[in-house]
Structure formats: C-alpha cells, structure tokens
C-alpha cells in the first residue's frame, strides 16, 4: 500500500517535469476554494473532485488521453492558457468578450444567474442593487459580477468591493463589513449552506455562461472540445454530471437547444472593443488606485515613523522590562510575514474589533514597518558619539533636551537614506493589502489586465505610476542629504 502511494507520488512529481506526451491532456483550473467546480477531495486531498473535474475527464476520455491537472490561480487562467501551460482550462470560467478576443473559447456548457445575497434581517430592505445606494457590495474580482457592480457604482452609487476568493465576501457579509454580495447562483447556494443568517433573492441580475478556454493556436482542439460538449449535451452525460453535483437547472435545457443549433453564435464574439477604448475606460480607476496607494503608504509610513521613534527611544533609554517588551515586538513583527499580520488584523480580530479594510491595511503596514524603522533609529541614535552627549550634560542640558536638540537631529540625518529606502519598499508592499479588499494600484492593474486579457499595457502603466510616486521621493531625499553633507574642504 505504502509502495503504491510512493509510486503514485513519484509519477505525479515526474509528470511535472517530464515532456508531456500526446497521451495526456493537461487541463488548468483553480482548486483553491473551488467547490463545486474543482476542489480537493475532503476524504483524500490528493484527489480532485467537482463537476469541472468530471467534464475534463469526460473530454480526455473522448480524446483518448489521460487527464492531468495543472493548478493555476483563478485570476491568471487566461494568461496561463495563452502561455500554453495547459491544453484546456475550465474552472467556472465565464464567457466575456475580452476572453474571446485573445483566446479560443468553447461553446457555453452551463448557464448561471448572477444573484444578490443579503443578511436575513435586510431581506426586504435590500431587494435590488438600486436599494443599496451608498452601501458596500462585494464580489469576486475579474468577473461579470464585478463589472456589474462597477456599473452599479456609477448608476446607483454603491461601493464595489472586490475579493480574491469566493468565501470571504459571504463571511464579511455575515460580519457586517459589506451589505450584499453579488455572485453566480452556484457560489451563492454553496455559501448559503456554509453560512447562517443569509438569504439570496431568486431574481437574476444578469445571466452568464461557463466556457472552456484554449490558446488561440489550439483552435482545432477547441473545435473537437465543442463537438464533445455538444455530444454530451445530447446524450445526457452533462446533465448526469450536473445533477450529481446538485447544480442542474432547467435553464440548461434551453441553453443546450440553442447550442445544438448550427447557427449558434456565442454572446461574447460580437462586442469587441479596441485597446485604446479599454485604456481610456480603465485609466481613471488606475489613477484613483494610485492615489489610494500613495495616501495609504504615506499614512502607514507616518505611523511607522512615529511608533518606530518611540520604540527606538524606549530601547535606548528604557529599563530592562521596557527593552525586553520592545525587542520582542520588533522580533515578532520582523520575523513573521506582513501578509499574515494583515490577515490576523482584518480577519483574525474580526470577532473582537471589526476594522474597516483601509484602517486595517494602514495599521497592518504601519505596525510592521514600525519594527524596521525602530531599528534604523536605534542604530542612528547609538551612532551619535557619546562625547557629544557628555558635552551636553556638562553644559547643563536635561536628558530630554539632549535628545531633542542634539541626539535626535543627528540621528535623523543618519536615518534619512534607509528611511527613504523603506518608504519606497512600503509603497510597493502596499500592494499586499489587496487581500483585505482594498483595491490599490497593483490590484486595479490586475483587474484591468484580466478584463482586457493582456498585461502589457496595464503593466507598463502601473510601473510608470509607481515610478512617478517613488522617483520624486528619492530625489527629495538626496537633495536633503546633500544639504546636510557639505563637501569636505
């Protein structure tokens, strides 16, 4: 038994590196929180289960190949397909125009409804997006639902909140951090079973379709996949799979009828928009996200500087207990990932204090960077020669005056270069707060890239914006330093 597991693991490991033979069908999906599409089997985490898994297996079988799963983050599936990381991709992938512009996309194999979920107490108060004026509405980023919310942001003045997964929107809804969630009914149904006190309105806000994606060069494979899907619709094997996973609806029958018609044209293929229009549409939100990044970074840095100074002074002047406490703080904050700290502050503390996302992000970054700043100030304080402090003492300065007039100003000059360095690092680390639903520059770029199906233009714009923020700062710091460090005669 043990030997067989070993062999299986070895085969799996080798499959990752060995050249892929024509016998395997590599299919990409995201198993992270992916039920009922793709997820690890709760009874055997080495195995995958889900309706997309079974559809992939069905397609592989019809092609005479062995299915081999490739794990790809949901937001990166399109890019990964273009790179050729897998042959076909399916993981609840939605049919949107941008996708059809850059990839070969199959016929739709499932029709879903975008539905509104609210807390039970708000059942009658919030019945549609129009009722949610001024409220926060959550969804998964880079989806039709997110576009729907962006639209509603303009028409109904709601606030769209984007998450990286489909679990936290619902848990935050239960906690009261958001007032509604819009996602497809498959996800909503699952969340309702998992979380108490939520209710989903049955009306569809929009209708969408799941499709299978392949690289453009693979159009031939796509045509074969289309044929297999049509056959599976006709002979009922798709229905069997969906029924097994409790996601069958009669809407599917109407979809299958339309797809069976040879003149069927997919929704997405019509509306194509040029890259320039896309940039024009996303640039304002990109600029807003850049402003948010800057404000967040400045506020977090201000907190880090103030707290860092206090810690440094405590460690230089404090008694044994103070020093031990502060040293522990610094070691813990430096020694654990800032991402973990952000999660703990936002989600971990949610039962004690429900911080708004921006405040949690500011606190997380500020508290973490305070540890680094304090080390800079501490070493800068100790670098001021003892003799100067003795000279001050003889002249009659109090310890506080000595710190304020003599030690701190010189320490600050020494700390300026490493501080500038840290601020630039913070500017970039602020992209981590997107895990707390704060849409800052990197996250907005990711959404932009996902929606237009290319990283090139969004990536360049994003880089230019980061540089526009960090370069002037570096220049300013160098000028200050230059003013303080006159050339030696």
Partner 1 sequence: MTPVLEARGLRLRRGAREILRGVDVRAEAGGIVALMGLSGSGKTTILRVIAGLETPDAGEVRAAKAGMVFQFHFLFEHLSAIENVMLAPTHVQRVSRGEARERAQSLLDRLGIGHRASALPKELSGGEAQRVAIARALAVDPPLLLLDEPTASLDPARRNELGEILQDLATSGRTLVMTSHDEDFVRDFATGVIILADGLVAESGLPAEVLNAPKHAATRQLLQVERSRTATR
Burial 441-465 (b: 16+ CB within 10 A, else e): bbbbbbbbbbbbbbbebbeebbeeb
42 forms part of the interface with partner 1 (CB under 8 A): no
Find all residues with CB under 8 Å of 304, minimum gap 6, and list them.
365, 366, 367, 368, 369, 370, 372, 373, 422, 426
Q: Number of residues in contact with partner 1, rule: CB under 8 A?
A: 21
Looking at the Cβ atoms of 199 and 416, the one nearer to partner 1 is 416
In whole angstroms, the minimum distance from the beta carbon of 380 to partner 1 comes to: 12
The stretch among 251-259, 333-341, 393-401, 467-475 that binds partner 1 (CB under 8 A) is 393-401
In whole angstroms, the minimum distance from the beta carbon of 384 to partner 1 comes to: 8
Phi first, then psi, for residue 7 (nearest 5°) are: -60, -45
Q: Is the peptide bond before 255 cis (omega within 30 degrees of 0)?
A: no
Find all residues with CB under 8 Å of 390, minimum gap 6, and list them.
none
Looking at the Cβ atoms of 6 and 395, the one nearer to partner 1 is 395
396 forms part of the interface with partner 1 (CB under 8 A): yes
As beta bridge partners, residue 116 has 182
In whole angstroms, the minimum distance from the beta carbon of 382 to partner 1 comes to: 15
482 forms part of the interface with partner 1 (CB under 8 A): no
Looking at the Cβ atoms of 203 and 390, the one nearer to partner 1 is 390
Instruction: Check the CA dihedral 450-454-455-459 and report its sign.
Output: negative
* Residues between 70 and 109 that touch partner 1 (CB under 8 A): none
Q: What mask, x for binding partner 1 by CB under 8 A, covers residues 119 to 148?
A: ------------------------------
Q: Rounded to an integer, what distance in angstroms lies between the CA atom of residue 310 and that of residue 319?
A: 14
Q: Which of 220, 272, 401, 475 binds partner 1 (CB under 8 A)?
A: 401
Classify the phi-psi angles of 92: left when phi > 0, otherwise alpha if psi is within -120 to 50, otherwise beta: left
197 forms part of the interface with partner 1 (CB under 8 A): no
194 forms part of the interface with partner 1 (CB under 8 A): no
405 forms part of the interface with partner 1 (CB under 8 A): yes
The stretch among 21-29, 41-49, 180-188, 397-405 that binds partner 1 (CB under 8 A) is 397-405
The stretch among 69-77, 347-355, 404-412, 415-423 that binds partner 1 (CB under 8 A) is 404-412
Q: Which of 375, 397, 428, 459 binds partner 1 (CB under 8 A)?
A: 397
The stretch among 127-135, 199-207, 310-318, 390-398 that binds partner 1 (CB under 8 A) is 390-398
The stretch among 102-110, 232-240, 335-343, 386-394 that binds partner 1 (CB under 8 A) is 386-394
Q: Which of 16, 64, 387, 483 binds partner 1 (CB under 8 A)?
A: 387
Measured CA to CA in angstroms, residue 379 lies from 170, 308, 418 at distances of 46, 12, 11
In whole angstroms, the minimum distance from the beta carbon of 381 to partner 1 comes to: 14
Q: Rounded to an integer, what distance in angstroms lies between the CA atom of residue 13 and that of residue 373?
A: 43
In whole angstroms, the minimum distance from the beta carbon of 312 to partner 1 comes to: 18
Q: Which of 4, 321, 385, 483 binds partner 1 (CB under 8 A)?
A: 385
394 forms part of the interface with partner 1 (CB under 8 A): yes
Q: What mask, x for binding partner 1 by CB under 8 A, covers residues 410 to 449?
A: x--x------------------------------------
Q: Rounded to an integer, what distance in angstroms lies between the CA atom of residue 379 and that of residue 415?
A: 9
Q: Which of 123, 243, 393, 482 binds partner 1 (CB under 8 A)?
A: 393
In whole angstroms, the minimum distance from the beta carbon of 373 to partner 1 comes to: 20
Residues that bind partner 1 (CB under 8 A): 385, 387-388, 390-397, 401, 405-406, 409-410, 413, 484, 486, 488-489
């Amino acid at each position: 038994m043990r030997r067989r597991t070993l062999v299986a693991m070895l085969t799996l490991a080798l499959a990752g590196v060995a050249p892929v033979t024509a016998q395997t069908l590599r299919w990409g999906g995201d198993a992270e929180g992916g039920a009922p599409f793709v997820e690890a089997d709760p009874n055997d985490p080495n195995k995958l289960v889900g309706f997309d898994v079974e559809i992939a297996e069905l397609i592989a079988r019809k092609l005479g190949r062995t299915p081999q799963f490739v794990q790809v983050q949901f937001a990166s599936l399109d890019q990964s397909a273009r790179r050729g990381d897998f042959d076909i991709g399916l993981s609840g992938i939605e049919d949107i125009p941008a996708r059809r512009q850059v990839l070969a996309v199959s016929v739709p194999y499932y029709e879903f409804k975008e539905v509104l979920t609210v807390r039970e107490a708000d059942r009658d108060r919030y019945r549609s997006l129009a009722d949610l004026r001024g409220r926060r509405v959550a969804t998964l980023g880079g989806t039709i639902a997110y576009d729907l919310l962006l639209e509603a942001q303009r028409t109904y003045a709601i606030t769209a909140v984007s998450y990286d997964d489909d679990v936290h929107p619902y848990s935050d809804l239960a906690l009261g951090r958001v007032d509604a969630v819009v996602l497809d009914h498959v996800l909503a149904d699952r969340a309702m079973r998992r979380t108490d006190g939520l209710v989903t309105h049955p009306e569809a806000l929009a209708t969408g379709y799941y499709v299978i994606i392949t690289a453009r060069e693979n159009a031939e494979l796509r045509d074969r996949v289309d044929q297999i899907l049509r056959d599976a619709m006709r002979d009922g094997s798709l229905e069997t799979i969906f029924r097994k996973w409790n996601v069958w609806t009669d809407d599917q029958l109407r979809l299958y009828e339309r797809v069976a018609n040879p003149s069927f044209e997919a929704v997405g293929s019509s509306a194509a928009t040029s890259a320039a229009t896309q940039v024009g549409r996303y640039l304002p939100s990109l600029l807003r996200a850049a402003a948010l990044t800057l404000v967040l970074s400045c506020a977090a840095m201000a907190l880090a500087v103030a707290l860092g100074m206090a810690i440094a002074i405590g460690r230089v002047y404090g008694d044994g207990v103070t020093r031990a406490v502060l040293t522990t703080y610094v070691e813990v904050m430096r020694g654990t990932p800032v991402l973990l700290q952000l999660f703990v502050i936002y989600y971990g503390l949610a039962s004690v204090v429900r911080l708004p996302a921006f405040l949690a992000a500011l606190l997380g970054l500020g508290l973490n960077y305070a540890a680094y700043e304090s080390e800079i100030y501490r070493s800068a304080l100790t670098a001021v020669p003892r003799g100067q402090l003795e000279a001050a003492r003889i002249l009659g300065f109090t310890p506080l005056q000595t710190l304020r007039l003599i030690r701190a100003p010189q320490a600050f000059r020494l700390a300026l270069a490493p501080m500038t360095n840290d601020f630039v690092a913070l500017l970039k680390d602020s992209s981590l707060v997107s895990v707390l639903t704060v849409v800052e520059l990197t996250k907005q770029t990711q959404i932009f890239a996902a929606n237009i199906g290319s990283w090139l233009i969004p990536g360049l714009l994003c880089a230019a914006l980061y540089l526009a923020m960090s370069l002037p700062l570096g220049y300013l710091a160098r000028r200050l330093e230059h003013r303080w460090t006159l050339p030696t005669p």
